[in-house]
Amino acid sequence: MPNTIQSIELRNLKIEDYKELKKSMVESYPEMADSFWQEEQLEILLNKFPEGQLVIVVDGIVVGSALSILVTEDFAFKTKTYKDITGNYTFSTHNSEGEVIYGIDVFINPKYRGLRLGRRLYDVRKELCEQLNLKSIIFAGRIPSYGKYKDEITPKVYIEKVKKKEIYDPVLSFQLSNDFHEVRVLKNYLEGDTESLEYAVLLEWNNIYYEDSPKLINVKKSVVRLGLIQWQMRSLSNLKALFDQAEFFIDTVSGYESDFALFPEFFTAPLMADFNHLSEPEAIRELAKHTEAVKLKFQEFAISYNINIITGSMPFIEDGHVYNVGFLCKRDGTNEMYRKIHITPNEVFHWGITGGNAIQTFDTDCGKIGVIICYDVEFPELSRLMADEGMNILFVPFLTDTQNGYTRVKHCAQARAIENECYVAIAGCVGNLPKVNNMDIQYAQAAVFTPSDFAFPSNGIKAEATPNTEMTLIVDVDINLLKELHEHGSVKIMKDRRHDLYSLKKI
């Protein structure tokens, strides 16, 4: 390695680079000194796929390169030898319609190793894959240290030991550290590769941003805007008064182009004042008679204000049982119901509410979401099953009377965000209802929680409302940050689960 370096440049290959490129190539492969690329071969590559040919230039000297072609995924996985993948070194196999980059070569002059220049080439190749909206990068990597172990272990066992860092392989160890995963072992891949005994490992890096048949309209958004409504409990004269108050908030958050409006659990409870002379089980059943009208009106709001509305929750009677349910009213006019699964002792004792039995996620124009009601967030199994189905945002409408209850909801919601690598939005009711039995006081602080990693707030809190004050909270969340976290986070909670020891599944 030179003692001093003045400049390092990574750029696309030019044919004028060939003389220096050849020198670095020969020095990089002393065991195959006669197998360097010819100038006319590089000219073919530059004509077919110029953006895929990269070089590293140190103080004006070409010290490394990454060469590649485009092929179809099917061709990359089926082709078994280097000669076949390159079309006998003519690159006739390059397919401009291919959805994957196939790596033909990567090398760094030995004099310049130790500067992580190879990593730079890999990173730029990944950026190119994302920019071109290609599915993956695929190539077959040599295993040059295998020759030392050929009499002791098979290539398969060798790869496992390299993965576990029991054996160091200068090529495979580097590729695995750059987020490539092995697909299978290839035999007789590169003719003349005596160090590897002509074995190679087919490796793949997946572009998490790849869009199959990208659309110009109706594309799922990366940045999603959430409108959380911290609802003031107050006396309401009738159902129209409730609709007027709800429309005010929907109008407000949609005016800021929110994609979702989240209402709290039992935000319709003020209407129970008319039934306060009845027993509590009778009063909740009377309130349930408004549920269908509320759903229909919120469907209308979702369409007219172009926003997806999560209606918090309200009582619902089915087959004689009272359930605590809510509706996802989508801006396309459709709606889906969700039910509270875990019922608090208070709800059972005072209202006789029955728990639901469906664990589900919902597809929206902003991606897959989950909705669980209040007490449900204190049971981690629900949101984990939803995360396994691809949920990115978990909505939690809640109702807590004391700060103790709110603390349980808040900290459990934060835990769900971290352990499931998702966003969690919570919204509750504030204020008092002195004329409604079992609903007299409320405590809430709406918030949006995030995972805890460098791309997110250090305390895992994206935003919080003022406690016990009627207001809205409007928050942007970036779904692409979750994709990066899943693949490249400081820890990878979803990926690192020990499925060999335990599992979680729906019954």
What are residue 184's phi and psi, to 5 degrees?
Answer: -170, 170
Residue 429 among the catalytic residues:
no
Do the bridges between strand 447-449 and strand 423-427 make them parallel or antiparallel, or are there none, so unpaired?
A: antiparallel
Count Cα neighbours of 330 within 13 Å in the Cβ-side half-sphere: 14
Q: Residue 185: phi, psi to the nearest 5?
A: -90, 140
Element (H, E) at 387: helix 380-388
Distance CA 196, CA 146 (A): 6
Residue 486 identity (one-letter amino acid): H
Helix axes 39-48, 18-28, angle to 10 degrees: 110
CA 364/CA 251 separation, integer angstroms: 20
Q: Measured between alpha carbons, how far is 264 from 386 in angstroms, rounded to an integer?
A: 21
Q: Residue 187 to residues 57, 178, 380: CA-CA distances in angstroms? A: 34, 23, 46
Give the span between the Cα atoms of 221 and 470, in whole angstroms: 29
Tokens of 425: 């939005």
Q: How far apart are the first and last CA of the chain?
A: 60
DSSP single-letter state for residue 220 = P
For the chain, the C-alpha Rg in angstroms (whole number) is 30
| Residue from 374, 412, 422, 429 carrying the catalytic annotation | 374
Count other C-beta atoms under 10 Å from residue 183's C-beta.
Answer: 14
**Catalytic annotation, pick one of 265, 280, 421, 470:** 265
Assess contact for 448 and 414: CB atoms under 8 A: no
Report CA-CA distances (Å) from 209 to 132, 135, 136, 214.
10, 8, 10, 11
Q: Catalytic residue among 297, 330, 340, 462, which?
A: 340
- Annotated catalytic, 265? yes
340 in active site: yes
User: Which secondary-structure segment (H or E) carries 83?
Assistant: helix 82-85
Residue pair 191/183 in contact (Cβ under 8 Å)? The answer is no
- Alpha carbons 308 and 330: distance in angstroms, whole number: 4
Which residue numbers are catalytic? 265, 340, 374
